[in-house]
Copies of this chain bind each other. A is one copy, B any other.
Amino acid sequence: MGKAIKLGVVGAGSAVFSLGLVRDLCLAESLAGSTVTFMDIDAERLAMIHRLAQRYVAELGVDLRFEATTEREPALREADFVINTALVGGHGWEETWRRESGELGYYRGLRVQTYLHQFDLMLSLARDMERLCPNAWLIQSSNPVFEGCTLMTRETGVKVVGLCHGFYGYRQLCEAIGVPADEVQWEAVGVNHWIYLTQFRHQGQDLYPRLDAWIENESAEYWRTFRGAFGDTQLSRAAIDHYRRVGLMPIGDASRTFSEWYYHTDLETKRRWYGHLGGFDSEIGWARYLEGLNRRIAEIRQVASDASARVTEAFPPKPTGELQIPVMDAITNDKPTILQVNVPNHGAIEGIAADVVVEGKGLVDGAGIRLLGVGRLPDKLMHMVLLPRIAKAEKDLLAYKTEDRDLLVSCILDDHHTRSLEQAEAVVDRLFSYPWNRELAARFCGRKRSALAPYALTD
């Protein structure tokens, strides 16, 4: 027998995510009797999810209770766990900014707007948890997991774990080389979205040589015939090229738009590295992703509006593979489980500060979460990928924390799309011109570096 929990879900209007969570929770018998409080600022979506969840458990006869609230406090009060899946401003703000920063020379946009809003939300959520449920775990499920979890664990005393399903990319490698993924011993470590395959074995045999053989003998045919819906990622030319340059295979999102700038300068380049659609993050791939997402939301709405439909038929109770429920189950019921997590490094990876949140396998049980020791990673991986990536995050976080416009501009100047100081200043001006960024703009521009008038650049 297990133990019931109180779970708050912030941003529960993310219909696909929340429905998946309900499915996983229904399958976790040891969490029977639990209460889930869905919270979202979108009351209509919230109500839809709430009703669907109630119908789902009713159909299955499972003992779970659901509440819904547009306020944060009821979702946090007495919570054992809080899942944060919110994206401030949703895809609307993101797409406007992507388009307009694109016009200013940033192909496919800059991440800065999302980051600043997400940092605000995460920090205020963690601070509310310190007050309302100081012993609860925060399961951070929306991006940016790496920077956000680092920020929250540094600035608050809340227990935070970041989860991301990108690590499943290793299964595509297994499939390509014809090895059953479930029989494979693997480990992928780094920081979220930049993880690298450090262990890859089948029955004690290193699988890297088989991967190399696939690249040599089969990749050309794979790339010639690949027609995946969102464009390729894990087995893309970009991923393989990057592997060969770094020496370890990038896993999952590590091959996406987050990777080296030179795979992403324009659509033509993306198509050369990611196949005909230019990969998941090109205008084509991303549009298909959004279409697919909207289609799934429409399906959910359809079922929601049809009281006679069986929700469990439309969305059968099969595990999603997401780790939120396994993490909560392992902690709540003290079941030692090894899971892919994002938590502060505390010495797991040599040469990375203790308070930087890293990704790797952790032992999750009643005592909490501790990373398996990784030790020293290859110098090349550290200096080519991880240390620069962490340095960038530190600079972003410092800009956020000090609300320093010059530092924000400096972060943008580091972007390889930036061609001039004027361009970087212009894109920050644009960012701060949106009505929804007015408060951010005031914070950053209220602390200008000095009272001096700008001097003329030209004689």
Given the interface contacts A406-B245, A416-B416, A455-B240, does A383 sit within 8 Å of B379 by beta carbon? no
Residues of B within 8 A of A215 (CB): 452, 455
Contact indicator per residue, chain A 78-93, by CB within 8 Å of chain B (1) or not (0)? 0000000000000000
A28 CB to closest chain B CB (Å) equals 43
Residues of B within 8 A of A216 (CB): 452-453
A160 CB to closest chain B CB (Å) equals 23
Q: How far is the CA of A178 from the CA of B215 in the complex (A)?
A: 68
Contact indicator per residue, chain A 201-235, by CB within 8 Å of chain B (1) or not (0)? 00000000000100110011001100000000000
Residue on B with the closest CB to A224? B459
Contact indicator per residue, chain A 234-257, by CB within 8 Å of chain B (1) or not (0)? 000100100011110000000000
Residues of B within 8 A of A424 (CB): 262
Residues of B within 8 A of A384 (CB): 395, 407, 410
Segment at the interface with B among A268-276, A281-289, A312-320? A268-276
Contact check, B413 vs A457: say whether CB atoms are below 8 A apart: no
Residues of B within 8 A of A245 (CB): 406, 409-410, 449
A157 CB to closest chain B CB (Å) equals 22
Q: How far is the CA of A398 from the CA of B260 in the complex (A)?
A: 19
Contact indicator per residue, chain A 373-389, by CB within 8 Å of chain B (1) or not (0)? 00000011001100110
Contact check, A247 vs B449: say whether CB atoms are below 8 A apart: yes
A216 CB to closest chain B CB (Å) equals 5
Judged by a CB distance under 8 angstroms, whether A419 is at the interface is: yes
A396 CB to closest chain B CB (Å) equals 9
Contact check, B457 vs A419: say whether CB atoms are below 8 A apart: no
Given the interface contacts A245-B410, A380-B407, A452-B216, does A459 sit within 8 Å of B265 by beta carbon? no
Judged by a CB distance under 8 angstroms, whether A394 is at the interface is: yes
Judged by a CB distance under 8 angstroms, whether A290 is at the interface is: no
Judged by a CB distance under 8 angstroms, whether A456 is at the interface is: yes
Contact with A452, one of B212, B272, B449, B457 (Cβ below 8 angstroms): B212
Residues of B within 8 A of A276 (CB): 459
A287 CB to closest chain B CB (Å) equals 21
Judged by a CB distance under 8 angstroms, whether A391 is at the interface is: yes
Given the interface contacts A265-B420, A420-B265, does A380 sit within 8 Å of B394 by beta carbon? no
Top-9 shortest CB links A-B: A262-B421, A245-B406, A383-B395, A272-B457, A383-B398, A244-B449, A384-B410, A216-B452, A379-B398
**A: which residues have CB within 8 A of B?**
212, 215-216, 219-220, 223-224, 237, 240, 244-247, 260-263, 265, 269, 272-273, 276, 379-380, 383-384, 387-388, 391, 394-395, 398, 402, 404, 406-407, 409-410, 413-414, 416, 418-421, 424, 449-450, 452-453, 455-459
Complex A-B: 17 CB contacts under 8 Å: A223-B459, A237-B457, A244-B450, A244-B452, A261-B413, A262-B420, A262-B424, A269-B420, A272-B457, A276-B459, A379-B402, A380-B404, A380-B407, A383-B394, A387-B394, A388-B414, A416-B418
Other A-B pairs beyond A220-B455, A262-B424, A265-B420, 18, CB < 8 Å = A216-B452, A219-B455, A224-B459, A237-B457, A240-B455, A245-B409, A245-B410, A260-B413, A262-B420, A272-B458, A273-B457, A380-B402, A383-B394, A383-B395, A383-B398, A384-B407, A388-B414, A416-B416
